[in-house]
Structure 1
């Protein structure tokens, strides 16, 4: 099997031995993207990790990438500590072990966070030194909206919504959406707040373990195909609507927050209608 056929697990060809690993490979690629790699960097790393040392020409040919771009990709992966170059002619490149690579990426991200955290206090103090010139008017009290890109900012906004929730916190989404929230500790935040949780899951063909551990009275299911629909309503005062939900990679998730009374009422009504039509899990 030549390299062009071997690497076909990156595309949709079903006549290869490795096709059965396609979905797992895509998940690994998406997780590497979540760690900060580009799609092409992730593909190069995976290719080297599973097919051994290769030259830039071999990588370019197997992944159908321009040779100039391939040199840039392997050099960038070297800079990140994920790929090493062998002293040979032509130069061959080898990927680090996956566990070591992930550990390296985590350390780099932690160092970046620590650097930002060290600047937090000084930046806050500098900001306080500048006087506040705005005068509050009726216009400044108008309805607001906010566009949020990526799981980080969206998760932070959800945390703010939960922290301010006193009565009802409503979530409508697919299993993938709820699973992503589960891993982000959203349900733990809600459980530790005074609010009352209600969830509508759509579609639901099989109850995953994390849902079976929750109070079934708080969950209803709709066996319809609406995986692209996901939104949250907090105390009938604010709403978060996913324009791109968990069907997309984490870095491509896109949501819209607003405290528009009209929009909140509309989405709350949609949730309640779905709740009434939904069925209990058990």
Structure 2
């Protein structure tokens, strides 16, 4: 499937590499690995194929291809036929996205419900008490991969007490929308502010959100800047390496200095941005 140029060869069809990378970014948000994405993309665009055909087309060892197909079947976005040899096919993209969103939502609801019970059982088991000073220490965590990053963002939103501020590119906010972060913000009924470029391509994701909480990010701000501040006591910012295919990565910290610098930047941009510049009725 790979070629040396700016296109990928998908059977007899050339595919623009940047389009594929954009699709890959979205699917990574749902927890798919790069090779799972390759297989799903190939089946979704070419149609039903055998494991042998898939392995050759996406340049993955046949033994690994079976593991990838099993994982995609478990996610509910790939199906297998009863014929011999077995042929595998991908769900239509709209249906596949709905399945992935439903699965992720159910997982998060289950985590929220199991949290109090886990704490109760944990407290019953004796052990050394955590020193109070530990909660006050400055900590840093490197988050690797969509699952870790998305889980941390949900945790920050769900534990926000007063205000959450997010600055990011249009691409970032499209990913946040598909990961249900914007719905989570709205449902919590907390104060929040959003800074992002807004075009016809992305304005639909803000439907139903109070427009006074959104301002249009000026074009002079670099697109690779993205961070989330919670209550002035936690910040998560993305590490973006343009031009490579690494997994999503971010750093979370409760460092006062870093939180202050990000807050200063956000507040400065917010105060200099006119909310009237955002036209949702275009």
* TM, length-normalised to structure 2: 0.66
Whole-angstrom CA distance in 1 between matches of 2:175 and 2:80: 34
Deviation at 1:45, TM superposition (A): 3.9
Contact 2:142–2:252 (Cα < 8 Å) also in 1: yes
The structure having more radius of gyration, on CA atoms, is: 1
User: Among residues 58, 62, 65, which one is paired with 1:70 in the alignment?
Assistant: 62
Relative distance call for 1:135 and 1:115 in structure 2 (3 A) is closer
Contact 2:192–2:213 (Cα < 8 Å) also in 1: no
CA RMSD of aligned residues (A): 4.6
User: Among residues 237, 243, 246, which one is paired with 1:241 in the alignment?
Assistant: 237
Relative distance call for 1:141 and 1:11 in structure 2 (3 A) is same
Deviation at 1:229, TM superposition (A): 0.8
Whole-angstrom CA distance in 2 between matches of 1:200 and 1:29: 24
User: Among residues 171, 174, 179, which one is paired with 1:176 in the alignment?
Assistant: 171
How many residue pairs match? The answer is: 265
Contact 1:204–1:223 (Cα < 8 Å) also in 2: no
Whole-angstrom CA distance in 2 between matches of 1:104 and 1:186: 17
User: Among residues 44, 51, 68, which one is paired with 2:39 in the alignment?
Assistant: 44
Residue equivalent to 1:197: 192
Residue equivalent to 1:224: 220
1:270 aligns with 2:265: yes
Contact 1:244–1:254 (Cα < 8 Å) also in 2: yes
User: Among residues 150, 154, 157, which one is paired with 1:156 in the alignment?
Assistant: 154
Gaps of 5+ in 2: none
User: Among residues 73, 84, 101, which one is paired with 2:80 in the alignment?
Assistant: 84
Whole-angstrom CA distance in 2 between matches of 1:109 and 1:200: 26
Contact 1:205–1:223 (Cα < 8 Å) also in 2: no
Relative distance call for 1:198 and 1:115 in structure 2 (3 A) is closer
Gaps of 5+ in 1: 1-6
Deviation at 1:73, TM superposition (A): 0.6
Whole-angstrom CA distance in 1 between matches of 2:140 and 2:52: 49
| CA offset digits 1:183-213 (Å, max 9, x no partner) | 4444455445575433322x45657233475
Contact 1:233–1:239 (Cα < 8 Å) also in 2: yes
Relative distance call for 1:32 and 1:70 in structure 2 (3 A) is farther
Relative distance call for 1:23 and 1:234 in structure 2 (3 A) is same
Relative distance call for 1:74 and 1:230 in structure 2 (3 A) is same
User: Among residues 88, 93, 97, which one is paired with 2:87 in the alignment?
Assistant: 93
Contact 2:7–2:16 (Cα < 8 Å) also in 1: no
